[in-house]
């Protein structure tokens, strides 16, 4: 076998190997589980979105309530606005449904691992945009989330 013929055959073999890799296991999404996509967040200026009764709901740190594309979480003791956070539930990367991780004190997206602070700032990508944060007001034992 001459040198040119050898290189030609090796090159063709490499091409076939790379094509198989691309189709089967190197980044293919064919084997990914079905993504859990969240609803779009309400736009700014929507007004009051939902309420919670603090006598019966969100009693413990880490407890959450989801409504209208927003996740409300108790992050500290006490019935003040600072003890809660409310952010959009859809990840800014590709719309995965984020969840609050109490031990790490942050929101984590299960699809690709983005992490966000309790105020919605990106702590770890691939997401690059923050979560929209919503206003929390506490009056006596009634909490209201609004945009
Ligand atoms: S959709 Fe959330 S990290 Fe990709």
Answer yes or no: do 22 and 64 share one domain: no
Is 2 within a domain? yes
Please give all residues whose beta carbon lies within 6 A of any atom in ligand 1, as ranges.
Answer: 91, 93-96, 109, 111-114, 126-127
Calculate the alpha carbon distances from 134 to 47, 49, 137, 146 in Å.
10, 9, 10, 6
Q: pLDDT tens digit string along 84-133?
A: 999 999 999 999 999 999 999 999 999 999 999 999 999 999 999 999 99
- Nearest ligand 1 atom to alpha carbon 126: 3
Say how many domains are in the chain.
Answer: 2
CATH code assigned at 128: 2.102.10.10
Start-to-end Cα distance in the chain: 73
- Nearest ligand 1 atom to alpha carbon 109: 2
Q: Which domain holds residue 27?
A: 1-32
Q: Structure pTM?
A: 0.75
């Amino acid at each position: 076998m001459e040198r040119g013929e050898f290189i030609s055959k090796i090159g063709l073999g490499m091409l076939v190997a790379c094509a198989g890799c691309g189709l089967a296991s190197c980044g293919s999404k064919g084997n990914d589980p079905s993504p859990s996509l969240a609803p779009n967040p309400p736009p700014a200026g929507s007004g009051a979105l939902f309420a919670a009764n603090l006598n019966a709901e969100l009693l413990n740190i880490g407890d959450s309530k989801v409504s209208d594309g927003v996740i409300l979480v108790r992050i500290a003791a006490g019935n003040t606005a600072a003890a809660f956070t409310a952010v959009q539930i859809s990840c800014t990367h590709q719309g995965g449904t984020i969840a609050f991780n109490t031990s790490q004190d942050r929101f984590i997206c299960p699809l690709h691992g983005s992490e966000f602070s309790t105020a919605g700032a990106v702590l770890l990508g691939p997401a690059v945009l923050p979560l929209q944060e919503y206003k929390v007001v506490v009056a006596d034992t009634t909490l209201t989330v609004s945009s």
